Amino acid sequence: MIQAILVFNNHGKPRLVRFYQRFPEEIQQQIVRETFHLVLKRDDNICNFLEGGSLIGGSDYKLIYRHYATLYFVFCVDSSESELGILDLIQVFVETLDKCFENVCELDLIFHMDKVHYILQEVVMGGMVLETNMNEIVAQMEAQNRLEKSENFPMTLHLSTR
């Protein structure tokens, strides 16, 4: 089971935080900070798995992470998950983000936090892997988009920030 999914940038600023086990808010922040310090000091070409996140779970848990440009994607999982499988899942998630946002960048995650959550919900549900087929996920997001359109926003202003 996946206990938590953390995305933060190279400076440790959280960009997406999703816990599937209940922790008080301050512990959540502490976990994010601790995890950031653990992965920050690691070179890019060493192993993507590490133990020792003392705040979540203990010895049965591993942090599996990937570093993309300015962002770290970290999944905290227990031993029932395949390590390489989770690495693949991170890749699926990122590629899906990329398809949905067309060349995703950190700013997309900041300004469209809700959308990022919705995409993640199509991949992981309650800590379990829901769907790994990218086309299926993108199709779901397109369907959501159509629903959103049909509900007619009271305001439709374009953002200039990108």
Q: Least separation, in Å, of the C-beta of 20 and another protein?
A: 7
Residue 40 or 113: the one with the smaller Cβ distance to another protein is 113
Cβ 62 vs Cβ 2: under 8 Å: no
Q: Least separation, in Å, of the C-beta of 76 and another protein?
A: 15
Q: Least separation, in Å, of the C-beta of 78 and another protein?
A: 10
Q: Least separation, in Å, of the C-beta of 79 and another protein?
A: 7
User: Token digits for 111?
Assistant: 């300004």
Q: In this structure, is the dihedral angle defined by the CA atoms of residues 152, 157, 158 and 159, taken in order, positive or negative? A: negative
Cβ 56 vs Cβ 76: under 8 Å: yes
Coil/strand/helix, residue 81: coil
Q: Measure the CA–CA gap between 76 and 78, rounded to whole angstroms.
A: 7
